[in-house]
Structure 1
Amino acid sequence: MIEARMSTFTAEATSLPLSAAQLGVWFAHQLDPKAATYNLSNYIEIHGPVDAEALKQAIRRAELECGTFDVRLREESDGPRQVPVDRASPGLQVIDLSGRPDPLADARAWMAQDQSAPVDVLHGFLSVDALFKLGDDHYVWYNRCHHLLVDGYGGALFTNRVAEIYTGLLSGTAPSGSPLGELGDLLDNELSYRTSPDFDGDRAYWVDRFSDLPDAVSLAEGESAVARQAFARQHSLLAESELQLVRDLARNSRTSWTVPVIAAVAAYLHGMTGSSDIVLGVPVSARRSAVAQNVPGMVSNQLPLRLSIQPGMTVSALVRHVAARLGELLLHQRYPYEDLRRELKLVGDNRHLFNVSVNILPFGEDLRFAGHTTTTRTLSTGPVHDLALTIYPGTAGSGLQIDFDANPARYTEDEIGAHRLRFLHFLRNLTTAAPDTPVGRVPMLTDDERTTVLDTWNRTERPTPGTGIVTLISRRAALTPEAVAVICEGIPLAYGDLESRANRLARRLIALGAGPERLVALALPRSTDLVVALLAIVKTGAAYLPLDPEHPAERIDFVLRQSRAVCVVTTESIATTQLAAAAADVHRLTLDSPRTVRETASLSAAGLQPDELLATPRPDHPAYVIYTSGSTGTPKGVMVTRAGLANIVDFMCAETAMTPDDRVLAVTTIAFDIASLEVLLPLVTGAGIVMATDEEMGDPVTLGRLAAAHGATTLQATPSLWRALLETDRQELRGLRMLVAGEALAKSLAETMREAGSQVINGYGPSETTIYSSVCPVEEGWNNSIGRPVANTQVYVLD
């Protein structure tokens, strides 16, 4: 009997301590005691007749050998304890379903209901067994055990021992194999470890390995979520021929077949996230002594396998790297993960070192009951807080079974399915790739996904705008001449006046040599004059070259000389200060000088006729030139065509559904290409521009007041400015149509914008591709996407 067993704990105590692993489960269970996530369950199909009474005896004898299952838990002053009792399980329940139309389905339904039922760990049955008769030669043995009692290794050990005893009972001989070890011996073994130098050495290894607290990479978006419900599972089967390829790769790398599988998961995570610092959870038995290896119980561990993966790493180098790091992990596998979390101060915030785990179960292939073959099905291996891949050999000759278990709070069924198919595709490609193939070159997308990304998403063709920007704005001016086109510092400029002034200035610029394939620089303060000048340059057929007067004089001089601008439109103040030392040979047209005012006023305000232009503008002529900093720090000119500009403006008209009732608060420096959208988009739709001055555009509070004062409905800004604006929590900004571009948009900020705005659009693209290359509506469930290509363009991601 249990009481007669001799060990440090059982010989002198009526209650036993919990192992470190048991304590981890105990405290985790207390967070949600009504959850069934710590119920471990599986069933074994026995392909042959079963003697129910003999199986009942075999289960009971195995329980008595170890004592693991004959305990009750209780809370004492110093914490939870486990108390040995005569019997803690209800015994084998026998259920005859052989007369049912689909007995296996009925058995599975029964098991699913039992497995999903919460267990009262102080008063309920922590272990349950049931035998289902499906037919004379077809039985199912089901076992459900709380993780507090046993881990996966211990469960398999117990199952194998039951099979040995059962076979012996039916043959009338002594069971083969050795009796199971005792629970007390397992606890003795752990106590010896925790008081040994090995424990201190393992602790030092793990703390040093993770002292920098790497981010836990996940395939899901957003914050981690506690597993409060049953995980979602999808199955896949790797054929025997495909498993052989895995074995071949392992043999060539002089390691076991499990290593390439783990390497594939790590490389997949690297490829999907772009992270080079990959940490996977790897369950281990934590049994390094002969005693521990023969006792069912809960001492297993799940440790972080940290890998460094680069796209240029070869397949063979990847497998060797994983083998080396896995070898280190196994040497230090007994140090409890929960101890490591406490050492790193992660427990209070419920933080983990990994999200994705890989559990490879190499046992259970040849389990037989009195000579009858079996098929083992794992139903639950414990909680899944993110994504867990459980990989185990299938039935004889059937390759590998791969279960994708996911936290339904983190992944949808469609997302699990997509990862399942994509990973299997990647694994097959990895095992057939040449050893010197860079990991980044191993195809990851499935054929259907590749077609979608390269073809379907790039089908953006639609008719190009038949009317140019200049004509559209002129039509607006003719239709609603009194409507406000621009307002700055409280001074409005009507569409009719904008058109007249731009026509006069255009004639003045043509006289100075402005025309197609020539550049006219703009160096003006933020004002209505800036909009007039930009439109006037476009009317001449020339390209505008925006300059920021606040840039260093050396940069302005370089840009003016390198661009060979025919003139620079500016003010007397800027011409005599910021431009004083810049490209003296470039003509200055100072809009506020008496001479310019007088000469421009004398010119016709009527629309320009084709014969007044130096040449006829073509769609492929430059519309503007933006100088970026360049990769080397030297300013680099980027030319955008008139067709490209007209295309993005036409596209954004449709995306925003902007109308003449809208007001766009313009806050972007003219030297930044997205500023062109702030000016031209409202003008072609008949909306109004609220031009923030240089002083106003840097103050979030002032911008909020400006938006309210003029009824702004639309604002485009970088994420940095949006964050500053929304931190003020000003009601004036709520309900805006929000365009965001220029920097990566964080999901937290996107959510804040979505809650505050009436519409949020994330735009992405370098200057070379005409303001935006792609746009994405930021809606519920947005996952950091940059969206789809704009009309009449294609987007490709190159490595």
Structure 2
Amino acid sequence: MLQRLAPEAGVSNEALAFRVGGRLDAALLAEALDCVVSRHEALRTLFPEAHGEPAAVVLRPQEARVVLDVHETDESTVHEAMQFFAARPFPLESGPPLRVGLWRTEGGDYCCLAFHHLAYDAWTAGIVFGELRDAYEALRTGGPRPPREPVPAVREPVSDPAALAYWRSHIAGIQAAEQRLAMGRPDPQRPTFAGAVRHHRLSPVAVAATRDAARRWKVTESMVHLAAYYLLLARHGAGPDLVVGVSADVRGITDRQAVGYHVNTLPLRLVVDLTAPVGELVRRVGEVFLTGLGHRHVPYEAVLPGLETVGSSWRTPLFRHMFNYRPVPVPLDAQMGGLPVELLGVKTGYSRHDLEFIVESGDKGANVQAVYSTEIFEDAEIEALQLRYDAILAGLVGDDRPAGEVRWWSERDERIAMAGDRTSPAPPATPVATAVAAAARAAGDSIALVDGPTEYTYGELAAAAATVHARLLQAGVGPGGLVAVCAARGFGLAAATLGIWEAGAAYLPLHPETPEETLAFQLRDSAADLLLADEVLPAGFEVPCPVLPLAQILAAQDVRSELQGVVDPAARSYVIYTSGSTGRPKGVELSHANLANVVAHFRESLLASPADAMLWLTAFSFDISALELFLPLSCGGRVVVAPDSARADMAELVDLATRHDVRLLQATPTTLATAARIGWEALSGRTLLCGGEPMTEALAADLLRTGCRLINVYGPTETAIWSTSAELRPGAEVTVGRPVRETAVHVAAPDGSALPPGLAGEVCIGGAGVAIGYLNRPDLTADRFRSDPSGRRCYRTGDRGRWRFDGRLELLGRTDRQVKIRSHRLELGEVESVFASHPRVSAAAVVLRTDMPEQSRLVAFVQWDKDGADSTDDTLARTLWDHARGRLPSYALPGRIVLGSLPVNRSGKVDYPALARVPLPAEQRGAAPHRQDTVDSNEQEAVQLIVALWREVLEDPSIEDTDNFFLAGGHSMVAVRMLSRLAAATGVRLTLGDLLEAPTPAELAGRVGTEVR
């Protein structure tokens, strides 16, 4: 089946290779090879197709011949040559499942026997090598002729209904989604089965602990190793109801010399209970294995009909992971033709499963060989799995503790986790109010703020703030109070915040364009003592607190006292409202210490000085605006106020930055992606902070090409603006980097425990930036602000992320954006990242629509860079569809792709609620982006033929032309039969890969062509 899916690859190939310390007689070796082939049916069996299924045809010994390919080469290229030789696919319908090559070098001969897996297992390797060696020696010495009599083949097992019933019962109800690890890439739509092998030598501590555990629990070492493998998979997100494939030889006592693939795969199912003693886990593994071994003669394929596949449609049903245990091979003390022989490892570069652990154990230690799919895993992920497997085994010493308490983090994991904690006993940062007051005293005549054509000095700002302070005192505002401010960005708003702090109160920023209902709610909910407003409030607007006109206060300025800037670091600095998942905004209380820490970090990391200017671009009701105002003011620099129009007009923004020599800017990715790119070259030499939502690789590349310094930042409001930062480099992957000063970040499992690098979980942030909590919401505060594994207070962000193995944090979307599509869990952020990875996509958003048919509820909204493009929207959608189809499993493919600008909210972020409601063109409703709405009569005839055929082979009369073959219950074996019958009816032979790429009758008809017989 795999060869049909990837006909150009030797997915099922295996190799037996050896080096001879001298030169062999090629003619004798070829004759010896004939002797071996003549003895074993498996080596002279062809597999032509009959009625849609492969049929075995055994050639007579005199008909079968395997040609010996002889090559002259050198030592430097021989291993690569053998690997290429072993990886070539076999034409099973016309040739034997074996080929042999001989490479002659100055240092000796190399021989490689490449087998198709249908004719090979580990036991076969020993038989074939032994017979080949003995036959060659007999021919060379002129002794008795080597035997050519056929060895009896392994008899087909007698049908055993009870054993089949056992396996059916054993695997009934298995959940496909539970078999996937929480690491690695999504399944490829059409796999190449590219694979690799990684070796790891177990530590002496792990080996000793394994042997001690086997003695203590009275089981074999292999059972301890298998139990550790189950625990490893469970710890990495699979299960707890797990199936692992384990190979079992089915040869009987009389079949020991039979060559071929005489192994059945046992799908061993086990529920991993982390609360149960680990010894119980080991014993249950032994019971499941021994019971399965007693039913090993039932072919694995006999168990499959009617079962749901694990993940993608091409995948082996039931499991993704294999395990094998074998003793370390005894060093070969053999000769061929009187010459020493050394066995070699030649890998074909393919993997049939996500992951297989092969444990080889002996007197001198143990090795773990990981064979893995490079389409799913990176080498660093496999290395991490091997190191953690080592740690689990080493952790089996001592008491029979619960399985969940067995140590599974490696020492490398611990080092990366330590790097994620930047907290220290150092003194806290100077409060911003104190720093601004000091700057005003030190350089009162320096420019503090530029607002349009007017420049204001630090002295003027301090005086205005003192005036506000005095008026607040008159109004009865004092320490612990809360003052709402509803004003446009500018001098007055800056003075108001400083005056509020001087009074010992906190500010509540309100946006002047906020709907009246929202303003009223925030004022009531916060119980603000006072509202400072610089504009006339709407007629009839009921304000639940006194209102003071900010403009009049500043106009009457007569206070000459200096700002003191004395505040309590633990006191409230500001309260800011954020949207809630229930639709009710919630107020976040942040302290002076919270704000001081993030301002100090960027002041230090960006080397901010009095000579620097920063653009005040963001609405003040969005928390990142505070950094734009207070970072420059805290170091004596300049704030340049940008009008709202600059957020959508890059030309205006860069003109403003150029005229005022602004070196530091901050914006959301959507703001930058939405703005026209006119004048982007003016960003050269400037520092750009970009955060608030995911940064796409395409946007990062575009920005870096301008020559700017690009800092990707991340952090929720609840941890004071930004909690991590990463300086992005051209060509490097986009991450959010490492924690800012005095901040600790960990990734948590659902139970709150920390996860090691590579595993996705909820990002939790601790340290100096963690907010006081939610205003008047003790229940919500208790839920979101918890203790981290070390007992410190932290905030659960609701963001999914993982530590990379280089110690940088990678975001993966929201925990509350996980949906279920056709029984599969799906992260919408992962789908978005695939679309965003296209080089011409500047932004992407994916939503699940509830107003559409189930098969097309996923809708991708894509902001496309059309610079220099004259393509139609249909062409662009097709391009994006093809891009996504090669990177996402079929169930994750959106039913719609909508091109255009993404709506943004007042904070400059994508407005997801708007996307969930935006009307779609009526003519697109129900039509997938790859489906043709009109077909000619011949193609329609093909559609009808395919629908009828599918209804028959899938035994489902409800199949329609838009149904996905695999989602309708088809799997690879049924697909082969269907394609064979389709070829007989149309004369067009399609591959399994064609079906994967065109999985509906409407799509497949286009590949059949116009001739239907």
CA offsets 1:299-335 (integer angstroms, 9 cap, x no match): 6566766665576554334434545665676658733
Structure 1 partner of 2:350: 383
Tell me by how many angstroms 1:66 deviates. 2.8
Structure 2 partner of 1:585: none
- The answer to whether the aligner puts 1:763 opposite 2:714 as a matched pair is yes
Q: Where does 1:174-213 land on structure 2 (aligned, <5 Å)?
A: 180-182=151-153, 185-186=155-156, 189=157, 202=167, 206=171, 208-210=173-175, 213=177
Tell me by how many angstroms 1:505 deviates. 1.7
Residue 50 to residue 392, structure 1, CA distance change in 2 (3 Å): farther
CA offsets 1:375-402 (integer angstroms, 9 cap, x no match): 76543377226763442435x6223222
Tell me by how many angstroms 1:520 deviates. 2.8
Structure 1 partner of 2:739: 789
Q: % of aligned pairs identical?
A: 19
Letter in 1 for 2:557: L
- The answer to whether the aligner puts 1:316 opposite 2:273 as a matched pair is no
Letter in 1 for 2:715: Y
1:261 to 225, 228, 248: 225
Tell me by how many angstroms 1:676 deviates. 3.2
Q: Where does 1:365-764 land on structure 2 (aligned, <5 Å)?
A: 365=330, 378-380=345-347, 383-384=350-351, 388-393=355-360, 397-408=363-374, 416-417=382-383, 419-420=385-386, 422-423=387-388, 425-446=390-411, 449-451=413-415, 453-454=417-418, 458=422, 468-471=434-437, 479-480=446-447, 483-484=450-451, 495=456, 501-512=464-475, 518-522=480-484, 524=486, 531-540=494-503, 542-545=505-508, 559-560=526-527, 567=530, 569=532, 580=544, 588-592=545-549, 598=552, 600-604=554-558, 608-610=561-563, 616-617=566-567, 622-624=572-574, 640-652=590-602, 663=615, 665-666=617-618, 669=621, 673-674=623-624, 676-677=626-627, 679-681=629-631, 686-689=638-641, 705=648, 731=676, 739-741=690-692, 750-751=696-697, 754=700, 759=710, 761-764=712-715
Letter in 2 for 1:26: Q
2:153–2:255 Cα contact (<8 Å) kept? no
Separation in structure 2 between the aligned mates of residue 290 and residue 237 of structure 1, nearest angstrom: 34
Partner SS for 1:213: helix
Tell me by how many angstroms 1:537 deviates. 1.8
Structure 1 partner of 2:66: 90
Letter in 2 for 1:235: H
1:476–1:686 Cα contact (<8 Å) kept? no
Partner SS for 2:42: coil
1:704–1:730 Cα contact (<8 Å) kept? yes
Letter in 1 for 2:471: R
Tell me by how many angstroms 1:145 deviates. 1.3
1:46–1:369 Cα contact (<8 Å) kept? no
Tell me by how many angstroms 1:68 deviates. 0.7
Tell me by how many angstroms 1:629 deviates. 11
1:144 to 91, 114, 119: 114
CA offsets 1:227-246 (integer angstroms, 9 cap, x no match): 75864433223378853532
CA offsets 1:404-463 (integer angstroms, 9 cap, x no match): 34445555555555554x2354144233253215534505121x5534542697388899
Residue 109 to residue 520, structure 1, CA distance change in 2 (3 Å): closer
Letter in 2 for 1:257: E
Letter in 1 for 2:404: V
Give the root-mean-square deviation of aligned CA atoms.
6.0
1:715–1:738 Cα contact (<8 Å) kept? yes
1:69–1:89 Cα contact (<8 Å) kept? no
1:362–1:393 Cα contact (<8 Å) kept? yes
CA offsets 1:66-97 (integer angstroms, 9 cap, x no match): 31111345456745555433354536789999
Tell me by how many angstroms 1:65 deviates. 3.5
1:682–1:689 Cα contact (<8 Å) kept? no
Deviates further, 55-64 or 647-656: 55-64
CA offsets 1:513-566 (integer angstroms, 9 cap, x no match): 556x53333263776565553243235454335589856989866754xxxx76
Residue 537 to residue 403, structure 1, CA distance change in 2 (3 Å): same
Separation in structure 1 between the aligned mates of residue 27 and residue 466 of structure 2, nearest angstrom: 102
Structure 2 partner of 1:71: 45
Structure 2: give runs of 5+ residues left out of the alignment: 658-664, 705-709, 747-753, 755-787, 790-1013
Question: Whose radius of gyration is greater, 1 or 2?
Answer: 1
CA offsets 1:121-167 (integer angstroms, 9 cap, x no match): 5667742446899999x998743212343344544565577689899
2:310–2:318 Cα contact (<8 Å) kept? no
TM-score of the two chains, using structure 1 as the length reference: 0.67
Residue 480 to residue 559, structure 1, CA distance change in 2 (3 Å): closer
Letter in 1 for 2:556: S
Residue 306 to residue 545, structure 1, CA distance change in 2 (3 Å): farther
Letter in 2 for 1:609: E
Structure 1: give runs of 5+ residues left out of the alignment: 1-23, 486-491, 581-587, 693-701
Partner SS for 1:442: coil
Partner SS for 1:261: helix
Residue 27 to residue 112, structure 1, CA distance change in 2 (3 Å): closer
Aligned residues: 707
TM-score of the two chains, using structure 2 as the length reference: 0.55
Residue 418 to residue 533, structure 1, CA distance change in 2 (3 Å): same
Residue 539 to residue 223, structure 1, CA distance change in 2 (3 Å): farther
